[in-house]
C-alpha cells in the first residue's frame, strides 16, 4: 500500500485549488494597477490640456498693446475658449502704479484654467508681468 502511494503522479485537488487562488489574486492585483494607470493617464492628459490653454492665453495677452481692453485691471472670463464645455479659462489683471508719477508701470497677468474631474475641481495658473514700454 505504501508503494502504491509513492508511485502516484499528478496534482492533488488541494494543490490545484491553491494554485488557482494564487493566480486569481495575482490577476486582480494587475487589474487594479491597470485601472490606476488609466486614471493617472487621464488626469495627466487633462493637466497637459489645461497647461496648454493657460500658456496660449498668456502668450496672447503678452502680445497685446498695454492699453488693450483685455488688459484692463480686473477679472476677465474667456468667451473664446476652444474647450469651453470642459475647461473654464479666466484671467486677472492687476496694475502696479509708480508712486512718484502715478503712472501704471506694469501689469500682473494671472491666467487660470479650471475643470472638474471625478467630483473634484482642478486648477492650473500662471503669473507673468507686462511692462509699460511707453512710460
For the chain, domain boundaries: 2-131
- pLDDT for position 83: 85
Return the sign of the alpha-carbon dihedral for residues 106, 112, 47, 58.
Answer: negative
Alpha helices by DSSP H, listed for 7-131, are 13-62
Return d(Cα 58, Cα 63) in angstroms, integer: 9
pLDDT in tens, 68-103: 899 999 999 988 888 888 999 999 999 988 888 788
Query: How far from chain centre, in Å, is Cα 15?
Result: 48
Most confident of 2-6, 26-30, 97-101: 26-30
Q: What is the mean pLDDT of residues 26-54?
A: 91
Return d(Cα 76, Cα 107) in angstroms, integer: 14
3-class SS of residue 36: helix
Amino acid at each position: 500500500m505504501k508503494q502504491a502511494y509513492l508511485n502516484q503522479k499528478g496534482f492533488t485537488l488541494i494543490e490545484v485549488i491553491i494554485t488557482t487562488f494564487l493566480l486569481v489574486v495575482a490577476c486582480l492585483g494587475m487589474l487594479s494597477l491597470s485601472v490606476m494607470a488609466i486614471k493617472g493617464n487621464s488626469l495627466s492628459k487633462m493637466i497637459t490640456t489645461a497647461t496648454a490653454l493657460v500658456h496660449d492665453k498668456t502668450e496672447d495677452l503678452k502680445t497685446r498693446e498695454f492699453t488693450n481692453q483685455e488688459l484692463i485691471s480686473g477679472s476677465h472670463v474667456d468667451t473664446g475658449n476652444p474647450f469651453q464645455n470642459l475647461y473654464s479659462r479666466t484671467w486677472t489683471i492687476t496694475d502696479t502704479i509708480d508712486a512718484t508719477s502715478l503712472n501704471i508701470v506694469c501689469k500682473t497677468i494671472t491666467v487660470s484654467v479650471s475643470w472638474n474631474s471625478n467630483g473634484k475641481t482642478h486648477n492650473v495658473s500662471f503669473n507673468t508681468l507686462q511692462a509699460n514700454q511707453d512710460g
